[in-house]
Amino acid sequence: MHRAPDPRTPRAHDPMALFPLLKHVRIEKYGLYPGFARDGTFEVTFRPGVTLILGANGLGKTTLMTLLYRMLAGTQELGLPEGEVGNARLEAYDLSAVQRKQFANRVNDGAENATCELTFDLGTTTFSVRRKLANLALDGWTLGGTDQALDEQKLRDTVTHAAGLGTFSDWLLVLRTLVFFFEDRRALVWDSGAQRQLLRCLLLTPTQAADWTKQERSILSLDSRLRNLQAAFRKEEKIQRRQATQIEDEPGVRDALEVAEQRRQRLTDERDALTDRIRVAERSRQEARLSALRAQDEYDRALRELERARLLAIESRMPNADQSVRFIYARLMSDNQCLVCTATDVAEVQARLAEAVAQRHCVVCDSVLAPAVDVIELNEERLQELQRRVERSATQLVVSATNRDEAHAAYLRDSEQLALRATEIEDAHQQVANLVNQLPPDQSRRKELEDRFQTLNNMVTELRAQLETERATFNASLDSFRATIHQSAARIKEHFEAVSSDFLYEESRLSWTPDRRLVGQTGGDTYAEYPAFSVELGGSDFVGVQRRANPAYVSESQREFIDLAFRMALIEVTSPDHVGTICIDAPESSLDAIFVDRAATVLARFADGTSPNRLVVTSNLGAGPLVPELLRKAAPPGERAKTLTNLFKAGQPTKAMVDGVVEYERYLAKLMIALEEP
């Protein structure tokens, strides 16, 4: 088991982001939560450690978790795409009137008089925010216990500043991807786009983060303008071609022009197809190169272990020989060459010496040798096992090297073809221009279309050059940003491995793998290298760890807790006070039974009550053994029941609860007994 790094260890880079530390929530006059005293007031105090929201379907567990999120996010939301973030513009937007009634629609009275007040810390700053649940309108907020004006924008700006972030959009990103773990949670560690945006706002200063965003959005805006202009250019080009066909001219020139234009279009289509293939080939080439490097590393490691084992075996069978004799023998046996005369035809000698060593006979006089004292003896099965590992690693190395060479060759072939197509297209343009010059003069309309076409062509050329210039400028800035972020990479990897090793049976680790991609959709030669991590995981059919580039390559249980380990590592490393809150909706939903104890260890590591960290989890009664196991690890006997917020007592009973009250009570009593077990 890995030991967690000491948070007091000095770091090369001092991050500035602060995560919310939930303290207390108070909900009044909301139909779903009549409260423990059934007086319309429902309160939960979030102490250091675990807070369990226990209930059944329809009692409002997920609603309560969503309420906590909405009290922190307010009346804005972040436009996250359904799939990977990619180059999406992550901007906050105002909730619609319908969206602001999401809690009102859950109760009969439309939450007319209902309010929710959440108290939380950001570092040493305490906030208290109260909202009307009918429409999420701000009903009051305090800063350090002092009442503030009812100004949504001021609240957003104050929270953003206190968290050490640059924009409220970054605050929403942190909430959505790190703090809250809803059932529709995205696999953050496999989403390089979400990763780079988080690393940007957590590990750069607000000024640097804003500069990154400004440059990136400028490129995306310019890319959009260029694509729109290219569409207009192609439309104008079609009009010009249609007009050109209406001009009467010498048949030979007209036919030749048509053939030349068809050839130019064919070459252009081939160029575009080659460009797409090169993009794919470049990514494949990088993947193959990384795979070959890992295979080489694994082969070298296996070979070193085999050589060490052979030396140990020789030492156990030649106890009185000095090191030089053992070395000469080992080189003879492994290199197939005599160190004295450099002869290579030594197979017979090798066999005779190996037999002598195996029978514990002296290799010089054939005397029987006594067993060595205080020397570890390796049996032949162990040596054969290591030899097989070397052979498997060598096979994998050959396969990886072949894949790498093939990917590189494919990339070079397509690049050569692309250069050839560029030359041919230029020739085709010149041929078309020469044929057009041979056409008789056209009417004024023809001249007008040509002028407009040329203007659009010039604009496209200028915008394309401007786009490449801005991409190059952004890349220069990104090199500096990436270097700053990389200063924290080792600690993030260290914390990830410490957490993941508590859950996974297989070896797992993070790899610093910058994500090389084009900013925008318009083709070009200037690729950005974004900071990113990838997951490497061992497996029963792999030699060493292998990169798992897609969440589909791991089980659902592994996926959930690998991602959770990554989130915990980011919170630990990027926050100056190393604390925060993680809210998980139904953590047992995808958990295999054999992982329960390990999952509880991972969760308890984050919130065991010895640090200010808060872990808020929801669970159905009788959902499985994870919750009791978690509470047993996170709190001592006598304290575990205090971590429980029982919606069976504080929530509005459902019909299923009323009809099955005896069964629910039996399950609840069984849980309470399990909580106090050592």
Q: Which amino acid is it at 282?
A: E
pLDDT bracket for residue 139 (50, 70, 90): very high
Given a cut of 50, whether residue 619 has pLDDT beyond it is yes
List of domains in the chain: 248-319+371-441 (1.10.287.620)
Q: Which residues pair with 516 in a beta bridge?
A: 529
Closest to 190 (Cα-Cα) out of 488, 566, 555: 566
pLDDT bracket for residue 589 (50, 70, 90): low
Two tokens at 423? 């030359």
What is the arithmetic mean of pLDDT over 8-17? Answer: 48
What is the arithmetic mean of pLDDT over 550-569? Answer: 82
Q: What is the pLDDT of residue 501?
A: 85
Q: What is the pLDDT of residue 108?
A: 92
pLDDT tens digits for range 324-378: 565 656 655 555 666 667 677 767 776 777 676 666 677 667 777 666 555 445 5
Q: What is the pLDDT of residue 312?
A: 72
Given a cut of 80, whether residue 167 has pLDDT beyond it is yes
Distance, in Å, from the CA atom of 145 to the CA atom of 55, rounded to the nearest integer, reads: 33
Given a cut of 50, whether residue 422 has pLDDT beyond it is yes
Two tokens at 430? 């010149």
In a 3-state reduction of DSSP, which class is residue 536? strand
pLDDT bracket for residue 39 (50, 70, 90): very high
Q: What is the pLDDT of residue 11?
A: 35
CA atoms within 13 A on the CB side of 216: 25
Query: Which range (171-175, 354-358, 430-434) has the least confidence?
Result: 354-358
Q: What is the pLDDT of residue 294?
A: 85
In a 3-state reduction of DSSP, which class is residue 118? strand
Two tokens at 465? 């050059």
The residue count of the chain comes to: 678
CB 176, CB 148: distance < 8 Å = no
Q: What is the pLDDT of residue 540?
A: 61
DSSP code of residue 80: -
What is the arithmetic mean of pLDDT over 384-396? Answer: 85
In a 3-state reduction of DSSP, which class is residue 448? helix
Closest to 542 (Cα-Cα) out of 304, 290, 291: 291
Closest to 35 (Cα-Cα) out of 645, 592, 671, 480: 645
Q: What is the pLDDT of residue 431?
A: 87
Q: What is the pLDDT of residue 373?
A: 52
Given a cut of 90, whether residue 483 has pLDDT beyond it is yes
The overall average pLDDT reported for the chain is 83
Distance, in Å, from the CA atom of 239 to the CA atom of 226, rounded to the nearest integer, reads: 20
Cβ neighbours, 10 Å, residue 160: 19
pLDDT bracket for residue 441 (50, 70, 90): low
Q: What is the pLDDT of residue 6?
A: 40
Query: Which range (181-185, 453-457, 525-529) has the least confidence?
Result: 181-185
Given a cut of 70, whether residue 590 has pLDDT beyond it is no
Q: What is the pTM of this model?
A: 0.69
pLDDT tens digits for range 399-414: 888 988 998 898 889 8
Q: What is the pLDDT of residue 31?
A: 94
pLDDT bracket for residue 9 (50, 70, 90): very low
CB 350, CB 316: distance < 8 Å = no
**Proportion of the chain above pLDDT 70, given as a percent:** 81
Helix H segments across 185-322? Answer: 192-203, 206-245, 251-317
- Write the DSSP assignment of 346-388 as a string of letters: -HHHHHHHHHHHHTTB-TTT-PBPPPPSS-PPPPHHHHHHHHH
Greater model confidence, 466 or 640: 466
Q: What is the pLDDT of residue 30?
A: 97
Two tokens at 636? 């001592």
Q: What is the pLDDT of residue 321?
A: 59
DSSP code of residue 7: T
User: How far separated are the first and last CA of the chain, in Å rounded?
Assistant: 23
Distance, in Å, from the CA atom of 351 to the CA atom of 346, rounded to the nearest integer, reads: 9
Q: Which residues pair with 43 in a beta bridge?
A: 26
pLDDT tens digits for range 268-298: 888 888 888 888 888 888 888 888 888 888 8
∠ CA 604-45-143, rounded to 5°: 115
Q: What is the pLDDT of residue 22?
A: 97
Q: What is the pLDDT of residue 28?
A: 97
What is the arithmetic mean of pLDDT over 181-201? Answer: 84
| Of 323-327, 486-490, 525-529, 635-639, highest mean pLDDT | 486-490
Q: What is the pLDDT of residue 2?
A: 40
CA–CA distance from 393 to each of 343, 402, 535, 547 (Å)?
A: 29, 14, 21, 16
Q: Which residues pair with 28 in a beta bridge?
A: 41, 115
Per residue, the 3-state secondary structure of 494-519, as one string, reads HHHHHHHHHHCCCCEEEEECCEEECC
∠ CA 346-347-352, rounded to 5°: 100
Q: What is the pLDDT of residue 550?
A: 80
Given a cut of 70, whether residue 632 has pLDDT beyond it is yes
Given a cut of 90, whether residue 547 has pLDDT beyond it is no
Given a cut of 60, whether residue 518 has pLDDT beyond it is yes
Given a cut of 50, whether residue 12 has pLDDT beyond it is no
Q: What is the pLDDT of residue 595?
A: 67
What is the arithmetic mean of pLDDT over 382-406? Answer: 86
In a 3-state reduction of DSSP, which class is residue 581? strand
Q: Which amino acid is it at 676?
A: E
CB 198, CB 186: distance < 8 Å = no
The β-bridge relationship of strands 76-78 and 92-94 is antiparallel
